[in-house]
């Protein structure tokens, strides 16, 4: 290339903008190939410090000579945004750096410079899943430890290639090292992927696959928020009474079936019988109390039996009560909740009998020639499904196919599994009393469907579970990957905790602005390209 001082002239140097005039357009075209919006410039001073800037736009500046008959000589003005600098040793660093004013030289950043920017990661930490769009021979290397130890957001509109990108990241992430390959062992990480549309199984043929047909997730693992979201209508006038009696019945059933556990709570992951709870609420709803002398307003069955402890009678079956009467010889009146739980009872019965919910409300295991319910003692087996500990594991990724799960319980299922994994990581670290050596990545695909910005009661439990992971999970080796085509509709508490972004084409203006707000102003020239990215192109910002 000819002397760049003959081609370029620097007009403006500011923290977020450098303007450069191309003085000789013809010479520039001869000397430069494939120069486009998004190309890189190197602006240097005499002390060998250089700013690297990204070409953001250009415009034509028309000038004439003093003679009226002279032709118009067009020149170009390039607007470029600084993205970092090369120090005197040629090492690229993000951020601003003062260079001597005025800079003395402008040149096109060559391949050597670009490699020093995008491949400058220690070999043992290098993680590669993409290449530079302007030069596909240059790999984009990121620090794998920093990438996976922080929360990740992968966003992009439908058709942008988002699923393929997620699959590529995960495939590279679980790839064993050379030493692990020689020893025929997996690496020590595990990925749990919520697959909303059942589209990732082909990308991971050796993965463990869970679906509505083989997922073991008994209802008694739910905590208070999940149970109430499942069975209580919060907008009903008597919802407080529903919660009170439901809570009491659940705790008493847990005590009955777990006699060796001291003071089980509503949230304890202990077996209880949903049928017993249904019977209890039904009997409360039908209850008649005796009003004769000595009966002390106790519930009175049709055979004349006075009920002392309701749990002794109400759990096993639906009882028949005496008839309400004002007659002196048979005085009896409605119990305190008689008729109040009609809708509640119908809702419980409807859900228990819904075959679509059998995987959750009526899970069975083979026990010889008969099927029995899962009990508290089965908790280790249930947990193994999700945390990857299996003697026959061939790949350290578990895919949970959510496509067959009814939408009305989708958020509950995600909440429950996410919470179980968090609790496992929490207690694992507490037991080991050291840094967790088994890192987990929880991938929430199409996350806007179950962790939305909405404050509706339907999503309360799942937002609470995932928000806790977003805030505290990294302390226990648990990271999130949030995948969505509508990032602006995701809980801000969760999305704002992401440090790493893979942003693909976004066509919705709200989503574009939302993602831009989460990124530093110094990369605004890059984020402006969000709506025009090609399929499988992405902006990658790490930590």
What CA–CA distance (Å, rounded) separates 425 from 326?
61
Above pLDDT 70, what percent of the chain? Answer: 89
pLDDT of residue 482: 96
Q: Give mean pLDDT, residues 459-481.
A: 94
Query: Are both 135 and 252 inside the same structural domain?
Result: no
- Report yes or no on 24 lying in a domain: yes
CA end-to-end span of the chain, whole Å? 37
Query: Are both 28 and 92 inside the same structural domain?
Result: yes
- Whether 115 shows a pLDDT value over 70: the answer reads yes
Query: Are both 55 and 111 inside the same structural domain?
Result: yes
The answer to whether the CB of 532 falls within 8 A of the CB of 132 is: no
> What DSSP string describes 322-351?
PPPB--GGG-EEE-TTTTTTHHHHHHHHHH
Query: Are both 41 and 135 inside the same structural domain?
Result: no
- Whether 329 shows a pLDDT value over 80: the answer reads no
What CA–CA distance (Å, rounded) separates 199 from 158?
14
- Report yes or no on 295 lying in a domain: yes
- Whether 99 shows a pLDDT value over 80: the answer reads no
- Whether 12 shows a pLDDT value over 60: the answer reads yes
- Report yes or no on 403 lying in a domain: no
pLDDT classification of 359: cutoffs 50, 70, 90:
very high
Q: Give mean pLDDT, residues 355-375.
A: 86
pLDDT classification of 525: cutoffs 50, 70, 90:
low
- Whether 228 shows a pLDDT value over 90: the answer reads yes
What CA–CA distance (Å, rounded) separates 480 from 498?
8
Query: Are both 63 and 130 inside the same structural domain?
Result: no
pLDDT classification of 523: cutoffs 50, 70, 90:
low
- Report yes or no on 217 lying in a domain: no
- Whether 2 shows a pLDDT value over 50: the answer reads no
Q: Give mean pLDDT, residues 107-112.
A: 86
- Whether 62 shows a pLDDT value over 90: the answer reads no
What CA–CA distance (Å, rounded) separates 262 from 517?
50
Query: Are both 24 and 138 inside the same structural domain?
Result: no
- Report yes or no on 329 lying in a domain: yes
Q: Give mean pLDDT, residues 353-364.
A: 94
pLDDT of residue 1: 46
Query: Are both 233 and 346 inside the same structural domain?
Result: yes
- Report yes or no on 463 lying in a domain: no
Query: Are both 97 and 127 inside the same structural domain?
Result: no
Query: Are both 128 and 42 inside the same structural domain?
Result: no
How confident is the prediction for the chain on average, in pLDDT? 86
The answer to whether the CB of 523 falls within 8 A of the CB of 541 is: yes
- Whether 456 shows a pLDDT value over 80: the answer reads no
- Report yes or no on 490 lying in a domain: no
Query: Are both 230 and 353 inside the same structural domain?
Result: yes
- Whether 463 shows a pLDDT value over 80: the answer reads yes
Residues counted in the chain: 543
Least confident of 80-94, 152-166, 351-365: 80-94
Question: Into how many domains does the chain fold?
Answer: 3
Least confident of 10-24, 68-82, 264-278, 307-321: 68-82
Last residue of a domain, one of 101, 118, 135: 118
Compare 64 and 340 and report the one with higher pLDDT.
340
* List of E strands, 220-345: 288-290, 332-334
What CA–CA distance (Å, rounded) separates 217 from 385?
10
Q: Give mean pLDDT, residues 412-432.
A: 90
Domain carrying residue 331? 224-357
Among 160, 255, 242, smallest CA distance to 533 is for 160
Compare 182 and 226 and report the one with higher pLDDT.
226
Q: What angle do CA 81, 84, 90 make, to 5 degrees?
A: 135
Query: Are both 241 and 350 inside the same structural domain?
Result: yes
Compare 250 and 176 and report the one with higher pLDDT.
250
Query: Are both 91 and 135 inside the same structural domain?
Result: no
Last residue of a domain, one of 103, 118, 133: 118
Above pLDDT 90, what percent of the chain? Answer: 50
What CA–CA distance (Å, rounded) separates 187 from 40?
38
What CA–CA distance (Å, rounded) separates 257 from 274?
12
- Report yes or no on 14 lying in a domain: yes
Last residue of a domain, one of 96, 118, 140: 118
- Whether 4 shows a pLDDT value over 70: the answer reads no
Least confident of 174-178, 253-257, 432-436, 537-541: 432-436
pLDDT of residue 503: 93
The 3-state DSSP class for residue 52 equals strand
pTM: 0.88
**Cα dihedral across residues 261, 262, 263, 268: positive or negative:** negative
- Whether 501 shows a pLDDT value over 80: the answer reads yes
pLDDT of residue 355: 94
Least confident of 80-94, 350-364, 386-400: 386-400
């Amino acid at each position: 290339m000819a002397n760049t001082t003959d081609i370029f002239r620097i007009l403006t140097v500011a923290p977020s903008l450098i303007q450069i005039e191309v003085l000789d357009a013809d010479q520039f075209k001869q000397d430069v190939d494939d120069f486009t919006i998004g190309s890189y410039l190197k602006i240097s001073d005499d002390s060998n410090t250089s700013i690297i800037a990204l070409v953001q736009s250009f415009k034509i500046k028309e000038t004439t000579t003093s003679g009226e008959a002279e032709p118009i000589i067009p020149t170009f003005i390039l607007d470029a945004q600084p993205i970092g600098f090369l120090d005197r040793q040629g090492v690229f660093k993000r951020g601003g750096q003062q260079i001597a004013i005025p800079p003395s030289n402008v040149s096109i950043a060559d391949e050597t410079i670009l490699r020093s920017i995008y491949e400058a990661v220690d070999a043992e930490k290098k993680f590669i899943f993409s290449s530079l769009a302007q030069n596909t021979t240059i790999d984009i290397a990121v620090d794998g430890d920093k990438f996976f130890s922080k929360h990740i957001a992968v966003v992009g509109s439908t058709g942008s290639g988002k699923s393929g990108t997620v699959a590529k990241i995960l495939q590279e992430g679980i790839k064993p090292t050379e030493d692990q390959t020689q020893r025929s062992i997996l690496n020590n990480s595990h990925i749990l992927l919520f697959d909303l549309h059942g589209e990732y199984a082909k990308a991971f043929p050796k993965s463990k696959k869970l679906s509505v047909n083989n997922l073991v997730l008994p209802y008694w693992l739910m905590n208070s928020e999940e149970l109430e979201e499942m069975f209580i209508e919060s907008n009903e006038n008597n919802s407080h009474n529903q919660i009170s009696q439901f809570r009491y019945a659940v705790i008493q059933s847990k005590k009955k079936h777990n006699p060796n556990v001291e003071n089980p709570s509503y949230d304890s992951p202990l077996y209880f019988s949903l049928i017993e709870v249904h019977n209890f609420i039904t009997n409360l709803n039908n209850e008649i109390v005796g009003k004769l002398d000595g009966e002390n307003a106790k519930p009175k069955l049709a055979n004349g039996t006075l009920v002392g402890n309701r749990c002794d009678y109400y759990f096993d079956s639906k009882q028949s009560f005496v008839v309400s009467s004002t007659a002196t010889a048979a005085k009896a009146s409605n119990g305190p909740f008689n008729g109040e739980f009609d809708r509640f009872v119908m809702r419980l019965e409807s859900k228990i009998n819904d075959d679509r919910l059998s995987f959750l409300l009526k899970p069975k295991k083979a026990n010889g020639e008969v099927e029995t319910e899962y009990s508290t003692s089965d908790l280790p087996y249930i947990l193994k499904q999700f945390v990857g500990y299996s003697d026959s594991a061939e790949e350290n990724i578990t895919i949970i196919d959510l496509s067959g799960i009814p939408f009305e319980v989708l958020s509950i299922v995600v909440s429950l599994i996410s919470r179980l994994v968090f609790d496992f990581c929490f207690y694992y670290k507490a037991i080991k009393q050291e840094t967790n050596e088994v890192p987990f990545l929880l991938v929430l695909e199409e996350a806007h469907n179950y962790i939305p910005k909405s404050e509706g009661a339907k999503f309360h439990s799942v937002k609470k579970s995932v928000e806790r992971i977003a805030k505290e999970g990294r302390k226990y080796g648990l990271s999130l990957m949030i995948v969505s085509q509508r990032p602006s509709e995701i809980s801000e508490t969760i999305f704002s905790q992401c440090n790493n972004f893979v942003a693909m084409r976004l066509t919705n203006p709200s989503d574009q602005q939302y993602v831009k707000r989460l990124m530093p102003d110094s990369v605004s020239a890059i984020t402006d390209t969000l709506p025009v990215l090609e399929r499988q192109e992405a902006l990658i910002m790490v930590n």
